[in-house]
Amino acid sequence: MTQKQTLTVRDNRTGDEYELDITDGTIRASDVGKIGKSDEEPGLAVYDPGFTNTASTRSAVTYIDGDRGILEYRGYPIEQLAESSTFLEVAYLLIHGELPTREQHDQWVHDITFHTFVHEDIKTVMRGFRYDAHPMGMLLSSVGALSTFYPEARNIKDPQIRHEQIVRLIAKMPTLGAWSFRHAQGKPYVYPDNDLTYTENFLSMLFKMSEQKYEPDPRLSKALEVLFILHADHEQNCSTNAVRSVGSSQVDPYSALSAGIAALYGPLHGGANEAVLRMLKRIKTKDNVPAFIEGVKNGDERLMGFGHRVYKNYDPRAKIIKKATEDVFEVTGVNPLLEVAQELEKIALEDEYFVSRKLYPNVDFYSGLIYEALQFPPEMFTVLFAIPRTAGWLAQWLELVDDPEQKIARPKQIYTGERQLDFVPAAQRWS
Ligand SMILES: CC(C)(COP(=O)(O)OP(=O)(O)OC[C@H]1O[C@@H](n2cnc3c(N)ncnc32)[C@H](O)[C@@H]1OP(=O)(O)O)[C@@H](O)C(=O)NCCC(=O)NCCS
């Protein structure tokens, strides 16, 4: 017998009954709005600060099953992509919805490679920042500034123009990110090298000094490639929601993406790996781990890099990063904090406190260690997140632009302030 996919609701204020359709495990907020609606009263609404149980879109980009620890881009498991794909192929997959043919791939890589340069005036914009400017602040402003260089980008209904901006954004993000890093160090900005791969070129723009050609260790560029793949998308998180919300006003993609970068700048979103590193430095040695764990269990501390709003199982990205950590340390030498991290993980995975609360390592638990081994200061960690996430933001933005159901984002509120006060002019109030 097939179950009826509806929900019957009885409004006890009036005794009226409503039958709401259930589609894909959701009811429509507009159907809820019909409950109790009359000429005098607005219908019922739902209250959901932080959108913890509200679907804002239908999406075919990224699938997550947090209980089972599954993450898939366009249906492909993250483990397989991290093992055998490249970041640019994954970016193509996210944006176009399917894997490229050889010709499509070569054209895509060529286009991205030949759009890595930015207008010289963008360099002037970046030069204008204070010597100690946070690289995320520089990145978000310079991405926003790009919209003034490509005014045609506002034609978001034109697929060809959209495609050009997508290529530009994926191509130029590493350039802007690397320059914001060089700026803080007082070093000259390094121009892109089109003979290198996406991640090799990024490393070159970050670390090249007086040598003719910068050739990064392939193990490092591969590890960065893996990290970029893991961070490319994560469905409707805070920054993606910001891109979609701002994008729903039909603004150009540079402006919409700078909103995403701003969201990622916040410590609750992009800053957890930095907090992990600070925690590991504070614990210092393996011997101090048991006392630290006791502090966590007593509620005095939080084990940073553990637990996730969605994953109630091992974050699939954390497993892959753990392996990449070993590869990076082969080149850079082992970070002594790795021992502390491994001991924390070992104890926590066996301890009843963490097991019963389904607290497992998340993506940030090991990524900070890798970034530090690659000599990035903590302020750069979020920039390293924003560069690959550009592919996901753009895939989600494209989906939004083409979705006939989407409207300008405009949540409701429950008004709690005063009403109909009489205004007394300042001269009278203060006399
Ligand atoms: C990610 C995070 C915010 C998710 O929070 P959440 O889904 O709202 O989960 P809650 O805060 O409701 O936690 C549920 C329980 O686990 C505990 N808990 C969650 N994360 C914990 C952690 N990292 N260390 C210790 N206890 C933790 C909470 O204290 C709570 O215990 P209680 O039921 O006894 O009160 C949270 O796990 C956290 O702060 N982790 C550390 C920061 C981090 O790594 N963030 C990066 C996420 S990618």
Q: Whose CA is nearest to atom 37 of ligand 1?
A: 307
Is the beta carbon of 306 within 6 A of some atom in ligand 1? yes
Is the beta carbon of 296 within 6 A of some atom in ligand 1? yes
Q: In 3-state terms, what secondary structure has residue 162?
A: helix
| 177 and 387 Cβ atoms separated by less than 8 Å | yes
Is the beta carbon of 127 within 6 A of some atom in ligand 1? no
pLDDT of residue 1: 62
Which of the residues 110, 308, 315, 327 is marked catalytic? 308
| Enclosing H/E stretch for 11 | strand 6-11
| 63 and 207 Cβ atoms separated by less than 8 Å | no
Is the beta carbon of 308 within 6 A of some atom in ligand 1? yes
Residues 6+ apart with CB under 8 A from 19: 6, 7, 8, 9
Is the beta carbon of 315 within 6 A of some atom in ligand 1? no
Write the DSSP symbol of residue 309.
S
Which of the residues 364, 402, 403, 422 is marked catalytic? 364
Residues 284-316 have pLDDT tens digits of 999 999 999 999 999 998 999 999 888 888 889
pLDDT of residue 319: 87
pLDDT of residue 218: 93
Residues 6+ apart with CB under 8 A from 256: 243, 246, 247, 393, 397
Parallel, antiparallel or unpaired: strands 62-65 and 16-21 = unpaired
| CATH of 59-401 given 3.40.605.10, 1.25.40.10, 1.10.580.10, 3.40.190.10 | 1.10.580.10
Measured in Å, residue 414 CA sits from the centre of ligand 1 at 28
- In 12-78, the DSSP E strands lie at 16-21, 62-65, 70-73, 76-77
Is the beta carbon of 156 within 6 A of some atom in ligand 1? no
Look at the chain and count its residues.
431
Measured in Å, residue 268 CA sits from the centre of ligand 1 at 12
> Which residue ranges of the chain lie beneath pLDDT 50?
none
pLDDT of residue 86: 98
Check if 134 is active-site: no
Measured in Å, residue 303 CA sits from the centre of ligand 1 at 8
Question: Can you give the residue ranges of every domain in the chain?
Answer: 1-55, 59-401
| pTM of the predicted model as reported, rounded to 2 decimal places | 0.93
pLDDT of residue 425: 97
Check if 364 is active-site: yes
Residues 218-254 have pLDDT tens digits of 999 999 999 999 999 999 999 999 999 999 999 999 9
pLDDT of residue 272: 83
